[in-house]
Amino acid sequence: MKVIVKNARIVNPLSETYGSIEIENGIVRAVGQVDDSDAGEMGIDAEGRLALPGFIDVHIQGAGGSDVLDAEADALNRISRVCTRFGVTGFLATTIYRPNGENKHIPNVAECAKKDVEGAQILGIHIEGPFISKERRGMIHPSAVADPSISLFEKILEESQGELRMMTIAPELCGASSIIDRMLANRIIPSFGHSSANYEQALDAFKMGVSHVTHLFNAMQPMHHRSPGPIPAILESTHVTAQIISDGIHIHPAMIRLVANNLNEERCMTITDGVRALGLPDGVYEYDEREFTASGGVARYYDGTLVGTTLGMNELGKRFLNFTGWGLKALVRITSWNPAKLLGLEKSKGTIETGKDGDIVILNNDLSVWMTLVKGRVVYNQSGGR
């Protein structure tokens, strides 16, 4: 099938142009001056709107009333559909692992990741834990926390069926270094997070090969002038990228500006840390059999513990730009190009270029989503839904 998107402001990390995008059989065939007299099977007139590479969310747990923990194909399809309403064309299904409990959701995600879902692509699994600090577990239930164990890691690997892409780990734990080595050997991203590591321990982890950080600032030691904690180590380690929840609640806007100016555009990426209430009205919902309230885009347990957000990627990207003063090219970096590079997908995703997947989000000038395409297929249309 051929699709031509015409009259679009095409924004990439290093360039912006006005023109058309030709997609054939899911792949971008031409960008810029395209003969759109033959619009193929589908012609889309963007009418001057913004065309950006589809957003990639490397940390989302649920949306639309469903959660990865539901262990159902229908739940994952629902999450993938809701993601497209906010410009997401690919995501890591993020979840927990219970060492002594039921984990049907892990092979369920693995099976669905090998197939086509109805909306955004499942690009793999991200597990928060179980090798994390008990003191910094945040919203994660104690039953999903365990001491580092090679045998347990191998069991997780087996159940993930080759789809485990990222695991959040506290590197200061005894035995964590061996797990990190195994992750690197299996091309799994070890992500620093839910950790009590101090400055020196964080630096050691980054020298060991840890190259990514789960929801910066959250579930880790704060900065202090006599006890700096891991934040300065993250900023100093130039190969390390970091997830940022840019709702202005998980991180104060002033702190977002501070770290953004230190990490620069190349090392930041926006995540939703979305929960099942994402895309739904405020109210009472549930995560891992525990109720939380969703209000104003933020999800909290009754004791005030942050659970995640209910905001879409386009809104979080918009807030990031408002907080930092960065522009549209930077938006492409933090929502698409940087996540694509992190996942090793930069040859097929992250920019609108010839030979890459036709994953495109078309935005109105206020950065609301007008249309989302996954491999050239319209999966969301503001005027008519899916």
Q: Which domains does the chain have, with CATH numbers?
A: 2-52+351-381 (2.30.40.10), 55-342 (3.20.20.140)
Q: Evaluate the CA torsion angle 369, 375, 376, 381 in order and state its sign.
A: negative
Three-class SS state of 18 = strand
Calpha distance 194→153 (Å, rounded)? 17
pLDDT at 40 over 60: no
Q: Which residues contact 226 (CB under 8 A, 6 or more apart)?
A: none
Among the listed ranges 32-41, 148-157, 343-352, 372-381, which one has the minimum average pLDDT value? 32-41
Cβ pair 298, 331 in contact under 8 A: no
> What residues contact 308, with CB distance under 8 A and at least 6 apart?
61, 139, 272, 273, 274, 275, 287, 299
Lowest-confidence pick of 19-28, 32-41, 332-341: 32-41
Residue 270 has a pLDDT of 98
Largest CA distance in the chain: 66
* 74 in catalytic set: no
Q: Is the model's pTM score more than 0.85?
A: yes
318 falls in which pLDDT band (50, 70, 90)? very high
- The CA distance from 201 to 103, in Å, is 31
Map tokens 């036709």 to a residue.
358
Question: Is the pLDDT reported for residue 155 higher than 70?
Answer: yes
**Tokens matching residue 325:** 């003063």
Q: What is the pLDDT of residue 384?
A: 73
Under the banding of pLDDT at 50, 70 and 90, the label for residue 275 is very high
User: Mean per-residue pLDDT for 59-79?
Assistant: 96
Residue type, 248: G
User: What is the DSSP annotation of 135-189?
Assistant: TT-TTS-GGG-----HHHHHHHHHHHTT-EEEEEE-TTSTTHHHHHHHHHHTT-E
CB-count burial class (<10 Å; 0-12, 13-18, 19+) for 300:
middle
Question: Rounded CA gap, 156 and 106, in Å?
Answer: 8
Q: Tens digit of pLDDT for each residue in 159-173?
A: 999 999 999 999 999
% of the chain with per-residue pLDDT over 90: 93
Residue 61 has pLDDT above 70, yes or no: yes
Quick: pLDDT tens for 211-240. 999 999 999 999 999 999 999 999 999 999
Would the pLDDT of 38 be above 70? no
What pLDDT does 34 receive? 78
Q: For position 288, what pLDDT does the model report?
A: 87
Predicted pLDDT of residue 245: 98
Element holding 50 (H helix, E strand):
strand 50-53
pLDDT band at 39 (very low <50, low <70, confident <90, very high): low
Which two structure tokens, joined as six digits, stand for 175? 């035995």
**144 contact partners, CB below 8 Å, separation of at least 6:** 96, 97, 98, 99, 101, 129, 130, 137, 288
Tokens of 235: 């900023």
Residues 243-262: what's their mean pLDDT? 97
Judge whether residue 371 has pLDDT over 80. yes
User: Kindly report the CA angle at 287 between 283 and 290, in degrees rounded to 5?
Assistant: 85
Overall average pLDDT of the 35-62 stretch: 88
Q: Residue 308's pLDDT band (boundaries 50, 70, 90)?
A: very high
Retrieve residue 93's tokens. 């299904």
| 181-214 tens-digit pLDDT | 999 999 999 999 999 999 999 999 999 999 999 9
Q: Mean pLDDT, to the nearest integer, of 76-96?
A: 98
The secondary element (H helix, E strand) that includes residue 252 is none
- pLDDT value at residue 41: 65
3-state secondary structure of 73: helix
pLDDT band for position 42 (50/70/90)?
A: confident
d(C-alpha 98, C-alpha 289), whole Å: 13
**Residues whose CB falls within 8 Å of the CB of residue 259, separated by 6 or more in sequence, listed in order:** 216, 217, 231, 235, 242, 244, 251, 268
pLDDT for res 126? 98
Which of 273, 303, 357, 366 is catalytic? The answer is 273
The pLDDT mean for the chain works out to 95
Whether 276 and 64 have beta carbons less than 8 Å apart is answered as yes
Give CA–CA dist 12/52, Å, rounded: 7
